[in-house]
Structure 1
């Protein structure tokens, strides 16, 4: 906070499953104030977001135009933050608009390409505006990824399996891609072939991530968000797994991201870089 002023926060995708959790968390945080709620559903326009999600009135109406709320955020005494949990098709323009208005984005929406992330990083740096893009906000996931980095020093064979609910719009998950990228940063190529492989059904071996790491995606009702990193070596299997059973587990990481992004002047990709 600057001069004891709470951080003004806008939530984009406010009525979605993640957006609802963010609204609750921000409303309860003593160092933050909710100033805007944006959702693409025009039928909700003007309704109090607190009433919609069942926590009582917050005196924050839902609007369906992000830019009008970004204008509102620029009028606050402290630079505002916008938390984005929307859709892969909308997130790039949302983040670019926020940076243009000087509102710092905290992005949990996945589906951005490496090229888009680089373009946003260049734009944020030119604007001297902090931005956080985090494929996952669960602290347990970050610990799993760090354990995988340690394991990769001793194992040459690894595959990633990510499992999500069947409403998830992108595959593989941003978390799986980020995990593969982190393992690839060690400068080794995984899974040296032992026999020629042939897929009799295309995609049976998953999608190929960086440094020859296969990523397998499962989409089923009943799942929430889960990931396994499986290492193999002669005579042993080492499995790291994280299971999300409640979206509330992401909120400590989201609140941390909101606080940290106010101190940034450029884009950071991955919450682990701010811990």
Structure 2
């Protein structure tokens, strides 16, 4: 039985994660952390009164008390780094869906996990379809190197661009390099209207109520365009990937960046 604690348990992704873990074979939800409703029972909040888990406000104490195998983290950028450090210190494998960390931070945690020989995952996206979108886009960039990314998320997302857009841009850059796009004399009449520039690739972020998580990668070539798009209509779309990640990190001795490295492993 894999024992799991969820940090950020009362957020939309946190609640969905708790439900998925409860319903997954071979897993047990043994703890929930949030800075809201501390001391309340989680069960009635997620619609399952059979679950006897009390919401804790202190991660370190909870991990010491319940000794889980895995910490699932869907908190916020200003919280997640401390959570990962606490998890690794307690010998707990982090599975992190919180975005907003720099590659320097991610590499630091990869090194920390390797030193402790602990499995872990930092994933910009848990949706299988989104991972396939990134894989297809990376392949397309070999043949159509002129590309822009439009990512669209709900208006409560605090970091931009999204982790998925950054992961896509990083992998595309590996196959096409840093290249200039557009007219040499291009200028912006409104600052930022052309989006963020990542090694010549433009990324555009949209934040609106009603959205969940969406991304379109648009390629342009002579006389043609190619669009690769993924839409997460509900947060349930992330749960199969999350459950797979919780299982797979139990057999790892290092931290991995990107669920694609587990999904597409040989």
TM-score normalized by structure 1?
A: 0.93
Please say which of residues 189-198 and 45-54 is displaced more in the overlay. Answer: 189-198
> Is the counterpart of residue 65 in structure 1 residue 58 in structure 2?
yes
2:193 maps to 1:204 = yes
**Structure 1 residues not aligned, in runs of 5+:** 1-5
> Which residue is equivalent to 1:134?
123
Cα drift, residue 82 of structure 1? 0.4
For the residues of structure 2 that align with 1:81 and 1:135, how far apart are their CA atoms?
18
SS at match of 2:240: helix
Q: Deviations over 1:226-275 (max 9, x none)?
A: 10000001211100111111100100000000001111111100000001
Corresponding residue number in structure 2 for 1:50: 43
Matched, 1:263 2:235: no
Equivalent residue in structure 1 for 2:237, among 217, 226, 249: 249
**Matches of 2:40 and 2:83 in 1, distance apart?**
22
Mapped contact 1:50–1:57 kept (Cα < 8 A)? yes
Deviates further, 134-143 or 187-196? 187-196
Match of 2:22 in 1: 27
Q: Deviations over 1:149-203 (max 9, x none)?
A: 1211111200000001100011110000000011112152344444311112111
1:213 equivalent in structure 2: 201
Contact map agreement 1:48 1:57 (CA 8 A) in 2: no
Partner secondary structure for residue 186 of structure 1? helix
2:92 paired residue among 94, 100, 103: 103
Name the residue aligned to 1:234: 222
- Which residue is equivalent to 1:3? none
Deviations along 1:46-98, whole A, 9 cap, x unmatched?
Answer: 22211111122301111111111111243xxxx61000000011001111110
Give the conservation status (yes or no) of the 8 Å contact 2:121–2:249: yes
Count of equivalent residues: 263
> Which among 8, 11, 19 is matched to residue 16 of structure 1?
11
Q: Deviations over 1:124-160 (max 9, x none)?
A: 1111111100000000001111111121111120000
Question: Bigger shift: 97-106 or 148-157?
Answer: 148-157
8 Å CA contact 1:49, 1:57 repeated in 2: no
C-alpha contact 1:172 1:216 (8 A) present in aligned 2: yes
Secondary structure of 2:230's counterpart equals strand
Matched with 2:160 is 171
User: In angstroms, what is the RMSD of aligned CA positions?
Assistant: 1.2
2:101 to 66, 89, 112: 112
